[in-house]
Structure 1
Amino acid sequence: MASSNSIPASKEVATNSKLRVLTASLVGTTIEFFDFYIYATAAVIIFPYLFFPASTDPMTATIQSLATFAIAFIARPIGAALFGHLGDRIGRKATLVAALLTMGISTVAIGLLPTYAQIGIAAPLLLALCRLGQGLGLGGEWSGAVLLATENAPEGKRAWYGMFPQLGAPIGFILATGSFLTLGAFMSEAEFMAWGWRIPFISSALLVIVGLWIRLKLHETPAFQKVLDKQKEVNIPFIQVFKKHSRMLVLGTIAAICTFVVFYLTTVFALQWGTQQLGYSREEFLQLQLVATL
């Protein structure tokens, strides 16, 4: 008979394998950035001609198209705050799944949108709405993926684990650029503009399904599980960031702005300038960008 002084068995906490954690964080950001960058390319070479009035001069149409591209950069910090709040309240796993679905649904919807010639002004408005969804999804994904990786990392390995979500950005760009190059090689310009450009957007649904399958098999991170066990969840985590980490928040924001201003000047703006002003073909300039990214 068991002694009354016996110590009850401790609750066993489910853990994630290293491979699953790194794969889930890398695959998720790769999918999200693939979706994000196919829009970036399409905003220069496709959308000005299909989603804006034919009476508009080419430069104005391009500026309008790039304006829809810019919407995501307003949405990204909102998405980071929203999904970050939910992640600190209900857990990393659920919010990462929600962020991936937000991006995936928005991207597939873009591939199914009718053009300006078919529904008029509603076409660019719906395009802008879908781009807003992409921004919200990526804002929640990137920060959440880093938390997933680092909170599952063993002692002394957080920087190493935290590297893998960052690799999703260049890999996503390579896949996005490669998909447009492949399509251009196997179909005529008329076919590409008529329906071929939709393929990367719609096919991203397959990538999202793979990402969801991987992420739904994850357990909650050990760091967040400890918070749950101790019932120390913060009611409004975002306020705590401003109160306790405002200096790091400002410095991190400045660093991110510097990085992405340079990056999108050399990808999105340069693609527009190179193809419309310098006389490069779309395939030539995409190949240059692909080599540069590698």
Structure 2
Amino acid sequence: MSESPAQSAPSADAVVPPPVPRSRIVIASMVGTSIEFFDFYIYATAAVLVFPTLFFPKGDPTVALLSSFATFGLAFVARPIGSILFGHFGDRIGRKATLVGSLLTMGIATFVIGLLPTYDSVGYLAPALLALLRFCQGLGLGGEWSGAALLATETAKPGKRAWAAMWPQLGAPIGFFFANGTFLLLLVWLDFDAKTAASNHAFLTWGWRIPFLASAIMVVVGLYVRLKLTETPVFAQAVAEGKKVKAPLAEVVKTSWRPLIIGTFIMLATYTLFYIVTTWTTSYGTGKVVDRSGVEVSINYSDFLGLQLIAVLFFAAFVPVSGLLADRYGRRPVLILITAGIILFGISFGWFISPESVTDTVMLVFLVVGMSLMGLTFGPMSAILPELFPTNVRYTGSGISYNVASILGAAVAPFIATWLVHDYGVAWVGVYLAIAGVLTLIALFSARETRDVSLTDV
């Protein structure tokens, strides 16, 4: 449904803007997503380390952890709403302004979390405020990813879209590295041990707040970079030709419902893998999740963060590899092969990380394999998802697919995995991951190859 000629007649300034230097686009797409994912991941780390103790009633530690995970998952419920909200403006007024808005939403919410009073100070208001701000984080990230992906893909050279699109994907491991690295430095500096520290320890009193408050500096840098951008030529051309739509959400549901479903399930295994290997594995590896046999995995929290920092380097290293492969061989063949690897990885959980056999070395190998697969599967996503949709609904469509998958694959993953390992054993967590992989394989076989499609199609 296009706007009428009277409504959409191009104005004098509705012309294709001069090209922006490629280096500026790379920095703007990568720096912005790095900041957004840093904000998102410091919450994920605190959801295991801090929030169960400070923001929920005292009692069963497993219940407190599950409550923290539930609040953690709330952002994933908000993310599709954010993709609809920001997608509407991204497809109506442009990519640049919408990316600035999403960054501000995420940044302000993260900063305010660092100022929150705890449960001992204000009772149930503390988890309520935490949940509200976590929801706002989800809104911001829901609008961030698709805008950054479109900024990269809609300015890419022919035959190089997957390579161009992998730059915003690098924001995830970069943000994760700095989030966990910041917490690790704080733990070492303040000599904090989660299992033995008193409730009035400096880390629990004020130290955990530092990453949240410091994120404001990063947001200012990100805003400066993004305000230097101009609109993407693909969107500017759609504006000049009067091909915007009044209601992107209604249009994408009407005309592109099949790509919405396929895109959602293409992303499912990626999300499930990442949040099992990071958020759930952190709680499991440090002994906060007890197997049905009663055996704990007892790696020191600081040591575990160190293992994750090593593993995330493999995540970052394999993102560009996947971009090169997806440009050379196509999106579908590469992702089908990688998803098969994710299924095999899931099947291995029972003997790989059983509580009785886990050591620091075994856990490191497990994390490296998982993060390497994550880099390979995550890299092409910012190419294939936008390529499934036409220009006038691309921001909305790719964002909804990406973020609905976050509910199905990420929001519930730590919660389900915690329940499975507690009641049935760690092997069933791997089965859960393998099932997600099978659903992604079905979606990939149902999708068309998009490597050579034109992004100027409306």
Range class of TM-score, shorter chain: over 0.9
Tell whether 2:292 aligns with 1:281: no
Q: Where in structure 1 do 4 or more consecutive aligned residues deviate above 4 Å?
A: none
CA offsets 1:91-115 (integer angstroms, 9 cap, x no match):
1111000000000001001111010
Aligned to 2:118: 115
- The alpha carbon displacement at 1:13 in A equals 2.7
Tell whether 2:246 aligns with 1:235: yes
Give, as a single letter, the amino acid of the residue that structure 1 aligns with 2:175.
G
Structure ranking higher in helix proportion: 1
* Separation of aligned partners in 2, 1:176 and 1:12: 38
- The alpha carbon displacement at 1:242 in A equals 2.2
The question of whether the paired residues in 1 share the 8 Å contact of 2:16 and 2:233 is answered with no
- The alpha carbon displacement at 1:279 in A equals 1.4
Aligned to 2:265: 254
Per mean C-alpha deviation after superposition, the further-off stretch among 143-152 and 268-277 is 268-277
Tell whether 2:275 aligns with 1:264: yes
* Separation of aligned partners in 2, 1:136 and 1:12: 30
- Aligned positions of 1:128-207 closer than 5 A: 128-189=131-192, 190-207=201-218
Number of aligned residue pairs: give it.
284
RMSD: 1.5
Alignment partner of 2:36 out of 32, 35, 44: 32
Q: Give the share of equivalent positions with the same residue, in percent.
A: 56
* Separation of aligned partners in 1, 2:96 and 2:16: 19
* TM-score, length of structure 2 as denominator length: 0.60
CA offsets 1:134-171 (integer angstroms, 9 cap, x no match):
11111100011001111122333222211111111111
Aligned to 1:292: 311
Q: Unmatched 5+ residue regions in structure 2?
A: 1-14, 193-200, 289-295, 314-458
* Separation of aligned partners in 2, 1:57 and 1:75: 28
Q: Unmatched 5+ residue regions in structure 1?
A: 1-10
* Separation of aligned partners in 1, 2:167 and 2:252: 24
Give, as a single letter, the amino acid of the residue that structure 2 aligns with 1:149.
A
The question of whether the paired residues in 1 share the 8 Å contact of 2:16 and 2:240 is answered with no
Tell whether 2:81 aligns with 1:70: no
* Separation of aligned partners in 1, 2:128 and 2:31: 30
- The alpha carbon displacement at 1:12 in A equals 7.4
Aligned to 1:44: 48
Give, as a single letter, the amino acid of the residue that structure 2 aligns with 1:29.
T
* Separation of aligned partners in 2, 1:132 and 1:219: 30
Per mean C-alpha deviation after superposition, the further-off stretch among 78-87 and 204-213 is 78-87
* TM-score, length of structure 1 as denominator length: 0.93
